[in-house]
Amino acid sequence: MVKRTSTPIEQTARLLDLVPFLLAHQGIPVEQLAEHFRVTKEIILDDLNTLWMCGLPGYTPLELIDLEFDSGFVTIRNAEPLAEVRALVGSELVALVLGLDLLATGSKDLPIEVRERIENLSIRIRSKIGSVISVTDRGESEVRALIEQAIRKRASVRIRYFSPQKDEVKDRTITPFDFFLEGAFEYVRAFCDSSQGVRTFRVDRIQEISKNFILRSSTQLSTTPTEPIVSTVRITRGERWTAESLGLALDEFVVGGVLSLSAYSVDWITRTVLASQGDLVIDSPSQARRSIVQSLDATLALYEEGAIALAPKNRI
């Protein structure tokens, strides 16, 4: 649906986009240009006439943008200063980060791959902004307030927590100790009854929390963290996405190199290696290797059972 009117702000934004687009599409018909920008032919002609009077200071024919569109086909010259696509300004970056936060916290059923991409993009944009910006909904604020009360009371509390490693929501009883920031996200360090050890939980992944605290004596808790599982993996391909998901720079992610991954869960190691799509090959521990084989066998079984349709074979 084309627009019949255009505000001055909309026209300014469109003019900035017109220059790089025309440089990449020399000779485009006026009708097609109007269709691309979703405006009428009259509006796009008004834009071209305005753009024809734009240029660098001096405003002689040597500095003005040179446009031809009388024949119904648009060509542009002498527009190099505006050849680049518009860059986002600081306020636009802030709005984008806040939107990503709302998307991540407000959509609990997003696939794990989509959620990871949202998180990676948010971290990359925050590194450009250079300040901590976050947005939380009321539910998350209540979760944090209740955890703070549990810390002050030295009490345990029941939570429902989404684990991306297992892609499941599970009930847990935790005894929180403190909060800490890592990257763009806040975590709580706590003793977990299920794991019988100290674990970290991302605050925005806590979906529910009980308001009833469980008081315990210090002898009922073992605050000694369990030993992490250290795995050795080889880099077989240097894909950028895998490097970023591990928090590594490209010069640290070299084909043929060896990495040591530390985690408290074999499931995390398994999902990380499988998600690399062949970028990583695990050498140890054997428990993680067996877990990967079991996951692959389970996936192949779905194909054999017909739960996942096979792609048709090419016919000669």
Percent over 90 (pLDDT), the chain: 7
Strands of the sheet containing 73-77, edge to edge, are 28-29, 73-77, 66-68
**Pairwise CA distance, residues 84 & 28, whole Å:** 19
Are the CB atoms for 125 and 100 separated by under 8 Å?
yes
Residue with tokens 């992944």: 205
Q: How much is the pLDDT for 315? A: 41
User: What amino acid is encoded at 296 in this protein?
Assistant: L
Q: How much is the pLDDT for 275? A: 77
Q: How much is the pLDDT for 66? A: 85
Q: How much is the pLDDT for 262? A: 74
Q: How much is the pLDDT for 135? A: 54
Are the CB atoms for 198 and 189 separated by under 8 Å?
yes
Round to the nearest angstrom and report the end-to-end CA distance of the chain: 44
Residue with tokens 């706590």: 190
- pLDDT for 112-149, tens place per residue? 888 888 888 888 777 766 655 555 555 567 888 888 88
Q: How much is the pLDDT for 62? A: 72
CB atoms within 10 A of CB 121: 14
Structural domains in the chain plus CATH codes: 8-82 (1.10.10), 90-129 (no CATH), 138-220 (2.30.30), 229-305 (no CATH)
**Pairwise CA distance, residues 78 & 221, whole Å:** 73
Below-70 pLDDT ranges, the chain: 1-5, 57-59, 61, 81-90, 106-108, 128-140, 165-166, 183-184, 216-228, 238, 241, 244, 247, 250, 264-265, 305-316
Q: How much is the pLDDT for 79? A: 79
**Pairwise CA distance, residues 134 & 42, whole Å:** 43
Residue 34 structure tokens: 């109007």
Are the CB atoms for 23 and 83 separated by under 8 Å?
yes
Q: How much is the pLDDT for 59? A: 64
**Pairwise CA distance, residues 299 & 295, whole Å:** 6
Are the CB atoms for 100 and 122 separated by under 8 Å?
yes
User: What are the backbone dihedrals phi and psi of residue 32, each rounded to the nearest 5 degrees, phi first?
Assistant: -70, -35
Q: How much is the pLDDT for 43? A: 92
CA-based nearest residue to 67, from 17, 117, 116, 19:
19
| 136 exposure class (CB count in 10 Å sphere: 0-12, 13-18, 19+) | middle
**Pairwise CA distance, residues 117 & 98, whole Å:** 15
User: What are the backbone dihedrals phi and psi of residue 60, each rounded to the nearest 5 degrees, phi first?
Assistant: -90, 170
CA 105 from chain centre, in angstroms, equals 12
Q: How much is the pLDDT for 86? A: 61
pTM (predicted TM-score)? 0.37
- pLDDT for 186-239, tens place per residue? 888 888 888 777 788 888 888 888 888 887 655 455 544 456 678 888 888 767
Q: How much is the pLDDT for 316? A: 38
Q: How much is the pLDDT for 224? A: 47
Q: How much is the pLDDT for 230? A: 81
Q: How much is the pLDDT for 116? A: 82
